A and B are shown apart, each in its own frame.
Chain A
Amino acid sequence: MTNADRNRLKDKAFQFFGIFCTFIGLAVLAVFLIDILIDGIGRIDWEFLNNLPSRRAHRSGIYTAWIGTLWILLLTTIIAFPLGIGAGVYLEEYGKKSRMATILEINIANLAGVPSIIYGLLGLEIFVRLMALGGSLLAGALTLSLLILPIVIVTTREAIKAVPRSIRDGSFALGASKWQTVWYQVLPASFGGILTGVILALSRAVGEAAPLIVIGALAYVPFAPASPMDEFTVLPIQIFNWISRPQAAFTTNAAAAIIVLLVITFILNGIAVYLRHKWQKRIKW
């Protein structure tokens, strides 16, 4: 065997190793999803979705948890959406190249790397104690809003950056003011990208358990929350609580609740991917 043959062989070997590595992650994912489906799908029925939590596994449901998750989604959207887009627009259209913008940029990059549980500690001291919101939905949504804010800002900026200069110049040439240009030209043109980013950020918020546990969201809430000031639980916390119990029946409950959580996560991601695809197709500069 010549040297060249040997090198070709190594090359082939690595190619197979590459394919192997690429599929091992996906294989684990598949095993995992199938395992969860087998464990939990039989447990999902109308009662499971509509029952309150209970000490008895077979009577427990996820009603309070998924209502709480929807509330959190709604409130987090209301809070993080305008803030994140506003900050993104400012950084991209107004404050460009100023000293302040550089500081903001570094700061946002740093915030994106702060572990979620630290945001929990922030929420605990500021929202729960200082603002006396307690372990309420509002405190939870505020905490998660701050957590996803960096993601929303970064994706907003990227979407706005993709709008070509000529659109703005055209608008200015017609006598539009800066804000008119942003509102009537830049934002509509970048809205698809912005929406994609916001939805991806929300799908992250839906899966978070750690910061909400820290601010005192409870696993056992006897009633579904009816206002932003109510105590709450969310699906990930309910799942965590059920996993922590030794009885097998609760593990089944956890698997069933995971299926519901994954469905919500995948729907959100699906919408995001669809939007990105649609917008990319429609707009050709």
Chain B
Amino acid sequence: MKLTEKIIEGLLWLSAAITILVTVGIIWVLLSESVAFFSEVSVIEFFTDTEWTPLFDVKRFGILPLLAGTFLTTAIAIAVALPIGLTIAIYLNEYADASFRAVIKPLLEILATIPTVVYGFFALTVVTPFLQQLIPGLAGFNALSAGMVMGIMIIPMISSLSEDAISAVPKSLREAAYGMGATRLQTAFGVMVPAASSGILVSIILAISRAVGETMIVAIAAGQQPRLTLNPLVPVETMTTYIVQVSLGDVPHGSLEYRTIFAVGITLFIFTFALNNISFWIKKKYQEKYD
């Protein structure tokens, strides 16, 4: 009996420990292939060269164009999702009644459950043609519509995390503001949002991390042309799109071209890892202020 108990505990421990193996596996895979890559291409070239053409005859390995593409689509997505998501969070907390909240929140969550390839289709076949009527110079593939659609996808992430943060602020603060004669708007922006600022910041950082790692929307709608630009109207390529592009092609295993996806992958991993850990740190440091 005692033995079975021990065996079961061991098995449970093993399934938990597998998650460590996954992390080790990810880091090992990315590192080993990247080390091989960087033995042929210098790190300095990788981060300073302004062209990315590993699949062409004249190969250049500057990741800046991919970083620019990723930055651009992410910035557009956040520019869409942050004002809308935060306004929703404030509205649901300070204005809406409970029954309205109970209906709206699950509906908004639907936005987060739709597969990203479906959003990509939407960006390419609906949003881009629509925007082309407003902006004549808009290319068929562009960062603008991919970023905007990605922003819509991220709205529920910002709104629900920010709402949690705002509702965690003690009621007494709100009541004190009302007692001073403040309107709901003044209470929201003068008291509640500042009090919940660390939680809101966490939601923004996690949203950025999500947008940086998003793949299918940008692969479908933003194009596959690495370009060092911040012009949202032309085709660009993100880090994630590049990995997809190479995976779809016929690049031989072990070649330098094959290794580029791991060099790009580790760059992407470092970015998201840093963002996630900054958010954990903020959460840990500021969250329990009111307990």
Contacts of B244 in A (CB 8 A): 117, 210, 213-214
- A14 with B185: in contact, given A21-B87, A209-B116 (CB under 8 Å)? yes
Chain A: minimal CB distance from B257 (Å): 14
Contacts of A261 in B (CB 8 A): 115, 117-118
Contacts of B184 in A (CB 8 A): 11, 14-15
| In the complex, B172 has a CB within 8 A of chain A | no
The CA of A163 and the CA of B251, in the complex, are separated in Å by 52
Tell me the chain B residues, 93-118 only, with Cβ under 8 Å from chain A.
95-96, 104, 106-108, 110-111, 113-118
Interface segment, B16-24, B42-50, B61-69, B192-200?
Answer: B16-24
Contacts of B124 in A (CB 8 A): 243
B113 pairs with A255, CB closer than 8 A: no
Chain A: minimal CB distance from B23 (Å): 5
Contacts of A169 in B (CB 8 A): none
| In the complex, B212 has a CB within 8 A of chain A | yes
The CA of A283 and the CA of B216, in the complex, are separated in Å by 40
A126 pairs with B19, CB closer than 8 A: no
- A122 with B29: in contact, given A26-B107, A117-B244, A262-B114 (CB under 8 Å)? yes
Tell me the chain B residues, 135-167 only, with Cβ under 8 Å from chain A.
152, 155-156
B23 pairs with A25, CB closer than 8 A: no
B88 pairs with A216, CB closer than 8 A: no
Q: Which of B126, B215, B268 contacts A35 (CB 8 A)?
A: B126
Q: Which of B22, B122, B183, B243 contacts A120 (CB 8 A)?
A: B243
A89 pairs with B12, CB closer than 8 A: yes
B106 pairs with A273, CB closer than 8 A: yes
Chain A: minimal CB distance from B70 (Å): 11
Contacts of B74 in A (CB 8 A): none
Contacts of A274 in B (CB 8 A): none
Contacts of B280 in A (CB 8 A): 106, 109
The contact string, 1 if C-beta is below 8 Å from chain A, for chain B 16-39, is: 111110110110011001000000
A210 pairs with B276, CB closer than 8 A: no
Chain A: minimal CB distance from B91 (Å): 3
A209 pairs with B108, CB closer than 8 A: no
A126 pairs with B265, CB closer than 8 A: no
The contact string, 1 if C-beta is below 8 Å from chain B, for chain A 125-168, is: 11001000000000000000010011001000000000000000
The contact string, 1 if C-beta is below 8 Å from chain B, for chain A 171-206, is: 000000111000000000000000000000001101
Interface segment, A45-53, A79-87, A223-231?
Answer: A79-87
The CA of A280 and the CA of B248, in the complex, are separated in Å by 45
In this complex, how many residues of chain B approach chain A with their Cβ under 8 Å: the count is 83
Residue of B nearest to A106 (CB): B280
B5 pairs with A203, CB closer than 8 A: no
Contacts of A31 in B (CB 8 A): 126
| In the complex, A29 has a CB within 8 A of chain B | yes
A110 pairs with B107, CB closer than 8 A: no
The CA of A153 and the CA of B92, in the complex, are separated in Å by 30
- A15 with B95: in contact, given A25-B152, A86-B11, A243-B121 (CB under 8 Å)? yes
Chain B: minimal CB distance from A147 (Å): 9
Chain A: minimal CB distance from B247 (Å): 5
| In the complex, B240 has a CB within 8 A of chain A | yes
Interface on chain A toward B: helix, strand, loop, or mixed SS? helix
The contact string, 1 if C-beta is below 8 Å from chain A, for chain B 182-211, is: 011110100000000000000000100100
The CA of A117 and the CA of B242, in the complex, are separated in Å by 11
Chain A: minimal CB distance from B175 (Å): 17
Tell me the chain A residues, 230-285 only, with Cβ under 8 Å from chain B.
236, 239-240, 243-244, 251, 254-255, 258, 261-262, 265-266, 269, 273
- A262 with B104: in contact, given A25-B155, A121-B265, A209-B216 (CB under 8 Å)? no
The contact string, 1 if C-beta is below 8 Å from chain B, for chain A 1-13, is: 0000001101100
Q: Which of B13, B122, B186, B220 contacts A32 (CB 8 A)?
A: B122
A117 pairs with B243, CB closer than 8 A: yes
Chain B: minimal CB distance from A229 (Å): 20
Identify the interface centre among A25, A32, A90, A179: most chain B CB within 10 Å of its CB.
Answer: A25
B215 pairs with A115, CB closer than 8 A: yes
Chain B: minimal CB distance from A257 (Å): 10
Contacts of B134 in A (CB 8 A): none
Contacts of A146 in B (CB 8 A): 22
Q: Which of B26, B113, B152 contacts A118 (CB 8 A)?
A: B26
Contacts of B29 in A (CB 8 A): 121-122, 125-126
B269 pairs with A86, CB closer than 8 A: no
Contacts of A236 in B (CB 8 A): 115, 117, 216
Chain B: minimal CB distance from A255 (Å): 7
Given contact pairs A11-B183, A11-B185, A121-B30, a sample of 19 additional A-B residue pairs in the complex whose CB atoms are under 8 Å apart = A15-B184, A18-B91, A21-B88, A25-B84, A25-B108, A86-B12, A87-B15, A90-B15, A95-B13, A111-B22, A113-B275, A115-B240, A117-B265, A207-B115, A207-B117, A214-B243, A240-B120, A243-B120, A269-B113
A-B contact pairs, 21 of them (CB 8 A): A10-B183, A25-B108, A26-B108, A35-B125, A86-B11, A87-B12, A90-B16, A95-B16, A107-B19, A110-B273, A122-B22, A207-B116, A207-B118, A210-B215, A210-B216, A210-B243, A213-B247, A214-B244, A261-B118, A266-B113, A269-B113
